[in-house]
Structures are given as C-alpha cells and as structure tokens.
Amino acid sequence: MKIGIVGLPNVGKSSIFNLLTDAHAQVAKFPFTTIDRNVGMASIPDERLPKIVEITKSPKMKFASIEFIDVAGLIKGAAQGDGLGNKFLSHIRDVDLIIHVLRCFTEPDIPHTDSDIVPQRDYDIVRTELFLSDLTIVERRLDKIKKKAECREESEKLNEIKQCLSQGIVPETALPDLPLLSVKEEIVVLNTDEDGQFQDGIEGYRVSIKLEEDLLEFTEGEKEDFRKAAGLDPRGLSGLLEHCLERLSVIQFFTIKGEEARAWLVPRGTTVLNAAGKIHSDMKSGFIKAEVLHYNDFIKAGGFTQAHQNGLAKIEGKDYLVKDGDIILIKFRGT
C-alpha cells in the first residue's frame, strides 16, 4: 500500500514527508525543491506491540510500516506539462490514497504561487489538474478503441467517465485498468500557523508542521498540550496516520517468531492464507493451519501458555478472516 502527498509548491509536503518517514528529503524556501519523487516508509505506532513484548520478553520489536511518496509541487497547467506536471502526476498513478496538503500559514519568507493565501482556491487548482490529467487518459483510450466494434461497451463507459471529468465530477463508473487520479481516496491536510489562528475556511485535518518541528524534543504529553492550545488535533501526525489506515480500511495483526515480535498491515477482509503470504511466500504455498489468539485474550491470560490452558487460542483454516489485533502463528510445510 502506498500513500502520495500532493499540493502546490511550498505548502509543507516534504516537511510532512520527513516527519512521517525520517527520510531527510531536501526542504527549501523556493518552489520545486523536489524534482524526483521522494519515497520513504513511515512506522505505524501501536501501543499493543510494546505490551506484547513486555510479556514475551522478545528482544526485537518491529512496528508495521507504510510507504509514502512525496510528489513535487503541482501548479496550474500541470496536466499540460507545466512545471514538469505530467511527470509529477505520473508519480501518484499507483498510490492507494492521496494526502492533499494546503497552506494555511502566513510565513512571508516562504513564497506562494499567488499573492495571497486562499486554501480553497489552492485546493481547486490541484483538483482541476487531477481531473484534466484523467481526461487526457480517457480521451487517449477512446481514440485507441474508437474503430473497434468489439469495444462498444467500453467506449460507452469511457464516454460516461469523460462527461463526469469534464464537469469536475468524480465518476462513479470505473474501469479496473484505467489509472485515474480523481477517484482515489483523499485526505485534506491543513498546514497551519503555530498558533492555529489563520482562518482557512476549508475542512481538513489540522496540523502545524512548524509546531511539530519545534516540539521534536518535547514529551508526548507536552506536545498534546501545545497542539490543543493551538486548536489542532492533539495526536499530531500520529493522528494523520490513523486517518490514513481508516481510509485504506486496513488492520494490524501480530506475529511472535524467534526473537522478534512484529506488527503487519493487511486490508480488512484478508484471509489468514493471504496474511501468511505477506509474511513469507513459503508460508502461503505450504500453509497447513494457523493458531490464532486475539490480543485482548493474550493480555487477559498473561501469555501464550496461560491462554492455551484457558482454551483461548484457536486453530483456523486458510479461509479464516484476520481480525484487527490477532496474534497469529502459521504452521506450514517445512517447519
């Protein structure tokens, strides 16, 4: 699963990317600091994993992670190639979720593409470019199949999509192999002043990147107090990650193998067979059964041995649907 970060130049995209992934992408006070996309992994904090480790005494612990892509700033005309827009747009064709960052801060030393800061206008500019880029893709497909009689049904669907895109409407009709940007799930992030006083006039997840950078050395409790005082979500960027997981409809399960306790992300509705494949392809191909113990039962019992004695662990077949918080031991051929 991948998440793309988009927005106009100088809105804080790379700064958010760096705070989430600790990737140290270049940040500067001029447009198009980012030319090639930045790619990094963000660790997903989950208080359950350290509690598992407290009981198992596992010397190694690894949180689940998700890939983020920091895309260069888009400008008006990006869909026609302005500012290398076509290249930048191609960077998010395969993402599963878009974080759309809007500038809601008034730092005079950081230039803006317009003379004033109007978040709704900025939002509309980027969304328009996504629609125009999608429209180009649909028109190319139509040109390719227009003389093929066997593609009549596809042509009708494409014309429906084209009509929606032309009106700035997200099309309800979809074609699996048509990589449209406008239909992707989106989270709007408002990058505000440190005091949260700027009147942005648009809904979104409120965070101050400048404040987050200033609070790096503070305790979590202190960070929450400063965020609340600024009218921001007290969870900061960890709250943004939670929103991402909700929009992607993913859950976490845990494994304890050898010296390592580890968390994994899978889409809701994943079978234990496919979850085994995420751990290792050999586990999927040689799958025999899964021993499943839910986190709540694990904590209540105080460990695996006690959970077994209380009959809390269950043996499941390959069609079992993984639940958030499951602790899973895969039995497969070769073990």
Can you give the pLDDT at residue 77? 55
Q: Encode pLDDT of 144-158 as tens digits.
A: 887 776 778 888 899
Q: Residue 84 above 70 pLDDT?
A: no
Neighbours of 290 (CB within 10 A): 24
For residue 321, give the DSSP letter. Answer: B
SS3 at position 256: strand
Can you give the pLDDT at residue 111? 60
pLDDT (average), residues 178-205: 88
> What pTM was computed for the model?
0.84
Q: What are the structural domains of the chain?
A: 2-243 (3.40.50), 269-332 (3.10.20.30)
Q: Residue 41 above 90 pLDDT?
A: yes
Q: Residue 175 above 70 pLDDT?
A: yes
Can you give the pLDDT at residue 37? 75
Angle at 93 between CA 70 and CA 201, to 5 degrees: 60
pLDDT (average), residues 294-307: 92
| One-character DSSP codes across 49-112 | HHHHHHHH--SEEE--EEEEEEPPPP-TTGGGTGGGHHHHHHTTTT-SEEEEEEEE---TTS--
Mean pLDDT of the chain: 87
- Dihedral sign from CA coordinates of 331, 335, 281, 60: positive
pLDDT (average), residues 319-323: 98
Can you give the pLDDT at residue 1? 85
